[in-house]
Structure 1
Amino acid sequence: MKAIIHQQIEGLDGLSYSDIDEPIVKSNQVKVQLKAAGMNRRDIAVTYRHGASDEPLVLGSDGAGVITEVGDSVDQWQVGDEVVINPGLGWKNISEAPPEGFEILGLPDDGTFAEYIVMDQDHVESKPAHLSWHEAGVLPLAALTAYRVLFTRGKVKKGDTVMLPGIGSGVLTYALKFAKAIGARVIVTSRSQSKLEKAKSLGAALAIDTNSDWNEVLKGEQVDLLVESIGRATFNKSLKIIRKGGTIVTFGSTTEDTVEIDIRHFFYGQFNLLGSTMGSAEEFRSMLAFVGQHNVKPEIDHMFNLEDYLEAFTYLKDTKNFGKIGFDIS
C-alpha cells in the first residue's frame, strides 16, 4: 500500500511517500480502508521526536474509512461498516488525567497517512451519518481535544463568555462551534484579519487583533473561560482579561512553553488554571454524539493528496490554515 512514512532524517526531510506492506489483522482487530485522514501540529512534532535510527513510521492520528476485514474474535463490527478512528490509545473512561501507558496513534504505532490501517475493535467508532468522508477524517484528535477542554475541564455552559486567542487552529475552530452550539458567547483573537472575518462568519461575537490591548478593547467584558494555546506570547494577557474566579484551560503552546506569572495577581483573582490533553474513549463517544445532535461539521481549509505530503506539511507548519487540513485518500 501507499503511505507517508518518516525515517532516517530528523524533521520534514525524513518524510517520503512510499510503498509498504499492508498491515495484518489479528484476532481482536479490524482493518480499515481509509478514505480521508486529518493533519495535526503533532504530526510535525513527530518528525523530530521519531529517532533517525528507529524503524520507519507511518504518521497520522486522524482518519475515517470502511472496514474491509475483521479478526476472529471481533463482535462489534463487520465488513462494510463506516468508522472513524479513535487516536487515543489506552484511555477508556473519563478521568482527571490520562492513565499510565496512554499513547496517541502515529507514534509509537503506525498511523493513518496510508491506504489501510489495523486497529483494535474498541478503537473505532461509527462515522457520524451527517459527515462526508473528508469531514469525518479530520474530526477525531482536534474535536476530542476541544470537547474535553470545554466540557470536562472548563465546565462551559449556556450564557458563558468563552475567549479563544489565536483562532484558526483545528482545536479552536471546533471550540468555537461547540461553544456556540450550547449557547455560549465567543470572543476570538488573531493577527490575521481574514481569520477574524472567518471567525465572525462562524458566530464569534467579537473578533480582535491578538496584538491589541485586550483590557482596553474588551472593557466591560466578563470572560468566564479562556482557552490558552499560544503560550508565553499571550499567557499573561489571558490571565489579566478573565473575570475574578474565571478559568484558563491550556492544551498546548505555539510559542515558548515557559511562562512567568504574578502569583499575587493570581491568588487574589481566585483564578483556575487547568491543563488538558486529548481525551478518553468515553469522551470520544460523547463528542461524536454531540456533533451528531448539534449537526456540527468541521471547518475544512484544504485537503491534499498523499503524494503532496511535503506541500501539506509546509502549509501546516506555516499556520496558513483556518480550521482543518488533511489528506484525501479515496
Structure 2
Amino acid sequence: MNRAVRFHETGGPEVLRVEDVPVPVPAEGEVLIRTRALGLNRAESMFRGGEYGVDPVFPSGIGYEASGEIEAVGPGVTGFATGDAVSVVPAFMMTDYVVHGELVIAPAHAVVTHPENLSWEEAASVWMMFITAYGGVVDLAGLSAGETILIPAASSSVGLAAIQIARMIGARPVALTRTGAKRRQLLDAGADAVIATAEEDVVARVRELTDGKGVRVIFDPVGGPALARLVEAAAPDATIVLYGRLDAEPAPLDVGAVLFKRLTIRGYELFEITLDESRRHQAVDFVRRGLTSGDLTPVIDKTFPLDAVADAHRHLEAGGQVGKVVVTVPR
C-alpha cells in the first residue's frame, strides 16, 4: 500500500488524514515519484478550507510541491529514468493531480531535475515560491537593475523569494512586515530596508527611501485596506501586482491617484506562467540558474514528519514563520 494525505470534508487542519491508498500507475505522459519531502503553501490551506476557487472532490488529495525519485515512467515519457532525483513544479490543478503522499503521480511536463546542491527539503520548496515571484516581479512587472521594489508580507516564502530575485537582478528590495519583530531576519535575508506597517508611516518611509519618487514595482499578496497606502507610495507609471488577498476586507481605491499616476494594478496567479510552456521553461531556467549560482537559496522555516501534516498546516496558518514549511517523508 501507499500512504497519502487526504481529506473528506473542507475545514481546518484537523480534517487532514494520512490514509492507505493503492499505488498509482503512471499513464501516458505521467511519472510515478517516490517522494522524500513535500512543500506546503497557502494554496493547499485554502483548497482544504474550500476557499481556493476550485472545489475539492471527496475524498480529496492535496499538494502542489514534492521532491523525490522517479519510481516509474508512463508511456511516451522521455528524458526521465527510474532513480532520477526530481522535484515538481505547480503546473496543474489539485483537482487533476496531487503530490502529498509517499508514491504520487505527476504530469511529466511539471517534473524537473533540480541542482544537485539542494537537499530534498530545499528541492520540495523552490518552485512555487520562486516561480510565483519571478512571474510577478520579472515576467509581468519587468523589474530591472537599480529600481526599488516594495514587497508586503515579505517574511512569507514568496516574499523572501522576491527579495532574492530582486537582489539577483540588481534591484533594491524594501520589505514590508506588520511589526518590527522580523526586521533582523528580513535584513539578513537580503532586504535593503524593512518597514513595519503597524509601527511606521509606510508612505513617508517609502518617500524617504526613494528621495520622494515612490516605487515603480509593488508585489502584494495582501490587498485589503492597506492597498490604499501602496497606491499612495507608488511612483507614476508604477505596476502593482496583486497575487493574493490575505486581507479579505474591501480595498479602498483612490481612482484619482490611479488615473493621474497612470498606475497599472494587475491581478496575477502562478498558473499564467506554469501552464504556458514557453514561459514555464523561461521561469525554470531563471530559477535553476539562480539556485546553481547561489543567488537564490530556499529558506526553510520548519519541517514536520508526514504523520504530523495537520500540525504543519497549523504552523503555516499561524503566520509566524519566516520561509517555507516542509513535510518530510520517511523511506
TM-score by length of 2: 0.89
Q: CA RMSD in A?
A: 1.9
CA gap of 1:153–1:137, structure 2 versus 1, over 3 A, is same
Q: In structure 2, give the amino acid aligned to 1:134.
A: E
Asked whether 1:240 is paired with 2:241, we answer no
Tell me, in whole angstroms, the C-alpha distance in 1 between the residues paired with 2:160 and 2:84.
29
CA gap of 1:288–1:129, structure 2 versus 1, over 3 A, is farther
Once the two structures are aligned, what percentage of the paired residues are identical? Answer: 22
Q: Which moved more, 1:316-325 or 1:66-75?
A: 66-75
Deviations 1:230-264 (A, max 9, x none): 11131010000111122211101100163221111
Aligned partner of 1:100 in structure 2 is none
Tell me, in whole angstroms, the C-alpha distance in 2 between the residues paired with 1:17 and 1:287.
35
CA gap of 1:80–1:252, structure 2 versus 1, over 3 A, is same
Q: In structure 1, give the amino acid aligned to 2:219.
A: V
Q: Is the 8 A contact 1:165 1:210 kept in 2?
A: no
Aligned partner of 1:186 in structure 2 is 173
Q: Is the 8 A contact 2:98 2:105 kept in 1?
A: no
Q: In structure 1, give the amino acid aligned to 2:308.
A: D
For the residue of structure 1 that corresponds to 2:22, the secondary structure is: coil
Q: In structure 2, give the amino acid aligned to 1:230.
A: V
Q: In structure 2, give the amino acid aligned to 1:174.
A: A
Counterparts of residues 68-79 of structure 1 (less than 5 Å): 68-79=71-82
Q: How many residues align?
A: 314
Task: Find the partner of 1:58 among 41, 56, 61.
Answer: 61
* Higher helix proportion: 2
Q: Is the 8 A contact 1:160 1:185 kept in 2?
A: yes
Counterparts of residues 292-303 of structure 1 (less than 5 Å): 292-295=291-294, 296-303=296-303
Q: In structure 1, give the amino acid aligned to 2:233.
A: I
CA gap of 1:294–1:247, structure 2 versus 1, over 3 A, is farther
TM-score by length of 1: 0.89
Aligned partner of 1:215 in structure 2 is 203
Q: In structure 1, give the amino acid aligned to 2:255.
A: I
Deviations 1:246-296 (A, max 9, x none): 221110110016322111111111112122111223344234333335421
Q: Is the 8 A contact 2:177 2:197 kept in 1?
A: yes
Tell me, in whole angstroms, the C-alpha distance in 2 between the residues paired with 1:16 and 1:305.
13
- In structure 2, the gaps of 5 or more residues are 275-279
Task: Find the partner of 1:127 among 114, 128, 143.
Answer: 114
Q: Which has the higher contact order (CA 8 A, sep 6+)?
A: 1
Deviations 1:36-86 (A, max 9, x none): 110001111111229999331221111111101112322221111111112
Deviations 1:2-39 (A, max 9, x none): 22111135343321122111211223321111111100
Q: In structure 1, give the amino acid aligned to 2:45.
A: I
Q: In structure 2, give the amino acid aligned to 1:29.
A: E
For the residue of structure 1 that corresponds to 2:19, the secondary structure is: strand
Tell me, in whole angstroms, the C-alpha distance in 2 between the residues paired with 1:269 and 1:52.
39
Tell me, in whole angstroms, the C-alpha distance in 2 between the residues paired with 1:37 and 1:115.
10
Aligned partner of 1:98 in structure 2 is none
Tell me, in whole angstroms, the C-alpha distance in 2 between the residues paired with 1:205 and 1:274.
25
Tell me, in whole angstroms, the C-alpha distance in 1 between the residues paired with 2:228 and 2:37.
39
Q: Which moved more, 1:55-64 or 1:149-158?
A: 55-64
